[in-house]
Structure 1
Amino acid sequence: MGPGSAILADVVELPVSVGQRLLSLMDHYLGEESALNEQVLWRIEGQLDAGALRVALTKLVARHAALRTAFVGNGRRLRQVVHEPSPVALAEADVTGHADPDTAARERVSEEMRRTIDAATSPIRPLLIRIAPATHLFVLTMHHFVTDDWSNGLLSRDLRRLYAAELAGADDGLPAVGWQYAEWSEWQRERLSGAGLRELTEYWRHQLDGARIPELPERASAPGEGEQPWVSVELPIGPETTRALRDLARRERTTLFPVLLSVFSLLLHDETRQRDITVASLFANRGSPQVADSVGFFVTMLLLRTDLDRDSPARELVRATRKTVLAALRHQELPYQLLPPGTISSRTGRADDITFQLVGSLKAREDLSGAEIDDMEGMLERRRFAFEFVVAPHEDRLIALLLCDRQRFDADWAARFVAGYVAVADALAADPDRPAGDLLAPQRRTT
């Protein structure tokens, strides 16, 4: 039993988590509707049992209380209300009559992502799209209040197992959910109070003393006619480089994230001439084992600071970045937004102007039949930051993706930046013992 199990049973109004309140503020001040929508997609090839899918969906919502949580009030009065499990309605759409059903289905998915969700009523909007007699697309659009990328992966796993178990009349074999999200929220409130809050605040104030967000070259112009409001650039990092970077991570007893962040820091240094590099990144914030299989908005944003020495071997930069990331993980419960004002300097006043992410994949999670759907369009629809650099594995290689505000960043410059990232990644993979600055040699630069 978690700290709020008894409360959950009473189904009363509860305070929201820190992350949910921050999301609410972002929605209020930025007004980016799609920023607060999330989606999980499954393409179902072959015979579909719609009845079994509805039962599985109802069981999924019963399993994860976050999916049946409504939100009332606003600002500091925002509250979450967990409802009792009940049958879930599944809307249906048929695009088989369109000249190009697949395109029509994708347009419907994009429409669902853009359309706001009334979280005061329900945080989810499930839809089944019929593309052909034996091809369907299941779309679960959710308010960001109740899910994050980790949770989306859990939902994909759980619904596939629940559906398969319903078809076979067997046990689903799913692990028990430890804490429901409202229980974790209560634990978080205790952690972010008193001595716990003082400890976390002291660490981050010391870590970020004097830090400032790099100032990338910007332009001040509106998008041209017919241009999207954001720039997106995608380039692959080849299989050989990908293998070498993974090998480097193993030799340095770390994950791929610090290796790829080191490349990003080097490129930011090359663009800004700053040695002291600080960027934002999203962390899963699941340090408690009780929430490994819980669905909700756990993710938190932290600031990662690197003091870059051009003359030291690039391997040393990876080691220093590893230490930074490990320390951040130990203090991930406090998002940077709760730090005292003025903790970090930024041209715009926002510390998340430059973000770096390593995500699980740029492909949608496995669907009910084991196939996959390209999830790139979903990422574009939910852009949230002025400059977001994402790296994701895809088959035997990595994909580097930059999403940035066209009003602030030139498209040609953005393309050169991504090409530069790939070039520095190649150079690091080829010889991590070279001085870090040498990886930015003129023949490798794109400017």
Structure 2
Amino acid sequence: GHSLLAVRLIARIREQLGRELTIKQLFDQPSIKALADELSRQETTPARPSIISHGPNSRAPLSFSQQRLWFIDQLQSGVSTNYNLPMVLRLHGPFEPGCAEQALSYMIARHEILRTVYHYDGQEVEQVIQAEAAFTIERIDLQGLSAQAQQAACEEAIERTVSQAFDLSCDIPIRATWVALSPQQGVLIFNMHHIASDGWSMGVLAEEFSQLYRQACAGEPLMLAPLDIQYGDYARWQRTYLQGPVLDTQLNYWLAHLAEVPPVHGLALDRPRGQQASEGALFSQSLDSELAEQLRGLCQRLAITPFMLLHGILSLVLARHSGSHDIVVGTPVANRLQAQLAPLIGFFVNTLVLRVNTAGHTDIQSYLAHIKDV
């Protein structure tokens, strides 16, 4: 199983059949027939309402995720770069910055969120969607430098671009820089603010940009399938949907699920715990193909995803080194539960708290069944 594909399937089932299905219900069905039987039992379960387009927006409320991020940005005086989302591409072959500008300008006109700023009147903050936004790609020409000087200047340009803060009150949330290294080679730098983007959105950005850039270079009209809704429509829907009994149900679930949750992990540290900081380290480990295939086979036999298996393993490691059986791990989720949201650029991702009890399991099967239920 693949949880991201599962989310897409659930969204399509909701769109086509008007039925609600959880990821657990999906993974619990071993065949198409079993899934159909489960859906037949869900006939009376009301599907969440569709998101309605309000036409071209000029103002919209913030989504809950945006509100949280805007508040953090204000606490940090609007100068933090912690929520910049850079993407750096090294390109080989001729590149036309003018065509790239056309492509990105089309995308900014297409996605309201890419020409949105945020206005605070002293009581409420709202999205202000500009009717249009001028956009240019910064151009840096390093072709006349030596290889060593070129590399240093390119690294400096990347660092300067990705570390430049956005002023959410007046800056559109996307920038681009082209660093020319030779007629056949260069570096294209995108930088977006998280309040208008997430990991999924960066994939949408890359896919749409590639298609539009090819059209521009070929002299063709720039054209993509129209969007049914905009991010502002989603924010309005969320504010309307997540209230009353729906909100109470979710709040009660999380209050119960996180009752008496450990405030910090119990891992032994090699130095005194300091203040929270955004700097961290990354450790990567590759698995050989034979072991990876064995793990995939185990996942298939137990009807779990590779993520579930690795999450279970990590929880056991943390339990062993912390002396605690109550293990809490956070993980990002796409949070695009409606098919309408798939083609949008915007801030949808959410952080999910996974709480595992590593004690009391008689064998690995029962433990991984617990992981699957988390």
> Per the shorter chain, which TM-score range?
0.7 to 0.9
| In 2, Cα distance between equivalents of 1:91 and 1:74 | 33
Give the total of aligned pairs.
317
Q: Counterpart of 1:234 in 2: which secondary structure?
A: coil
Matched, 1:154 2:204: yes
Select which of 287, 294, 297 maps to 2:344.
294
Change (3 A) 1:258 1:239: same
Letter in 2 for 1:220: P
Deviations 1:141-195 (A, max 9, x none): 1111100011011101110111112223457775543321111111111122111
Q: Which runs of structure 2 are paired with 1:409-420 in the superposition (5 Å)? A: none
Select which of 303, 312, 316 maps to 2:353.
303
Matched, 1:107 2:144: no
| In 2, Cα distance between equivalents of 1:80 and 1:186 | 11
Select which of 94, 99, 111 maps to 1:64.
111
Q: Which runs of structure 2 are paired with 1:124-143 in the superposition (5 Å)? A: 124-143=174-193
Q: Which runs of structure 2 are paired with 1:70-89 in the superposition (5 Å)? A: 70-73=117-120, 77-89=124-136
Comparing 288-297 with 239-248, greater Cα deviation is found at 239-248
Q: Give the conservation status (yes or no) of the 8 Å contact 2:173–2:193.
A: yes
Residue 220 of structure 1 aligns with which residue? 272
* Aligned-residue offset at 1:42: 2.6
Deviations 1:106-125 (A, max 9, x none): 33222222210122222122
Q: Which runs of 5+ in 2 are unaligned?
A: 1-49
Deviations 1:373-413 (A, max 9, x none): xxxxxxxxxxxxxxxxxxxxxxxxxxxxxxxxxxxxxxxxx
Q: Counterpart of 2:128 in 1: which secondary structure?
A: strand
Q: Which has the larger radius of gyration?
A: 2
| In 1, Cα distance between equivalents of 2:121 and 2:313 | 41
Residue 228 of structure 2 aligns with which residue? 178
Q: Which runs of structure 2 are paired with 1:325-404 in the superposition (5 Å)? A: none
Residue 165 of structure 2 aligns with which residue? 116
Matched, 1:259 2:309: yes
* Aligned-residue offset at 1:268: 0.9
Residue 22 of structure 2 aligns with which residue? none
Letter in 2 for 1:15: P
* Aligned-residue offset at 1:221: 7.2
Change (3 A) 1:55 1:246: same
Change (3 A) 1:278 1:10: closer
Change (3 A) 1:110 1:313: farther
* Aligned-residue offset at 1:89: 1.3
Letter in 1 for 2:314: F
Residue 52 of structure 1 aligns with which residue? 99
| In 1, Cα distance between equivalents of 2:339 and 2:127 | 23
Q: Give the conservation status (yes or no) of the 8 Å contact 1:39–1:113.
A: yes
Matched, 1:242 2:288: no
| In 2, Cα distance between equivalents of 1:156 and 1:75 | 37
* Aligned-residue offset at 1:30: 5.8
- Pairwise CA RMSD: 2.7
Change (3 A) 1:318 1:85: farther
Select which of 12, 15, 18 maps to 2:64.
18
Change (3 A) 1:200 1:76: farther
| In 1, Cα distance between equivalents of 2:332 and 2:76 | 19
